[in-house]
Amino acid sequence: MQSDKTISKGNLDDLSAFATVARICSFTRAAAELKMSTSMLSYTIKRLEARLGMSLLQRTSRSVAPTEAGEKLLLALLPALDTIEGTLNELALAEKHVTGTLRLNVTRQAYNNVIRPLTGKFCAMYPQATLEVIIDYGFSDIVAERFDAGIRLGEKLQQDMVAIPAGPPLCMAVVASPGYLKDRPLPATPEDLKTHKCINYRMISANNIYSWEFSKEGRDLRIALNGPLTFNDPDLMLQAALDGLGIAYVLDHEVKDHIAAGRLIRLLEDWTTHFPGFFLYYPSRRRVSPVLSSFISLLKG
């Protein structure tokens, strides 16, 4: 009996799985993107190859690559799958039939600034969808850990990501409490901070202490400062500054109320400038799901 080599509607998931493996050239990363086990993905590809009666992928212990037949099929599949996915997304958004879970990897600051203001509206507009937010101060591989997207500052994004602005430009602020400054001279330049107790931030992704950045009249400075306290959470840095334990370097909108109330004093304001703020990012090679599309629409709206 001859193999049935026709491509039917029931084969669409198998074809999509093949296209993902062929595009990424890795079963492990493709399985993470497709949110399925590696063994199930391998079975899916073997089933497709058996149905078509031809080998689509060359497998070795170290690599995966499309065969000549696989290359031809991939060239035809990618635009077709993109068109189908785009149409399904448009239909789902138009009918408000958005389902599934949107998993986001963000810092607490990104949650407070970007996600929290949209959460109520998202839940009201898409009651069949679920929003899952994981707070992470590292820089996780969102593909390997099966996140749909992440939110970070633009300067920290990888090159192969699609990045969408998720808020206005930001500015840092150097602050200390009146109690801490009572018997100490105010710093006139960033270099003067070296004589003060500075509250540092440890970057989990790079496993190093963050250098404070300044700019004035074309002069840019990055200064590594010493101090008695180091945290990996900006909220704790702010609290330490409020407790009079040293000078902190934090986002200015997070200390605005404390400055207005006199609990903190802003220092070196003429040395701090605005920079690009938060971005929502996701892999450029991944088709956008309806639930992510709906969140992006709210973000842009």
Mean pLDDT of 124-134: 92
User: What confidence tier does 146 reach under pLDDT thresholds 50, 70, 90?
Assistant: confident
**pLDDT tens sequence across 256-299:** 999 999 999 999 999 999 988 899 998 876 667 888 988 998 99
Does this model's pTM top 0.75? no
**pLDDT tens sequence across 247-258:** 999 999 999 999
- Residue 124 confidence (pLDDT): 92
Q: Give the domain ranges of the chain.
A: 9-93, 96-168+278-300, 170-275
pLDDT at 219 over 80: yes
CATH of 96-168+278-300, one of 3.40.50.720, 3.40.190.10, 3.40.630.30, 3.30.70.120: 3.40.190.10
**pLDDT tens sequence across 38-92:** 898 888 999 888 888 899 998 877 778 889 998 998 888 888 877 777 676 666 6
- Residue 112 confidence (pLDDT): 92
Q: Domain 9-93, CATH 1.10.10.10 — does that match?
A: yes
User: What confidence tier does 205 reach under pLDDT thresholds 50, 70, 90?
Assistant: low
CA distance 171 to 22: 43
Q: What is the CATH number of domain 170-275?
A: 3.40.190.290
Mean pLDDT of the chain: 86
Let me know if the fold of 96-168+278-300 is the same as that of 170-275: yes
Pick from 240, 279, 228: which is nearest to 104 by CA?
A: 279
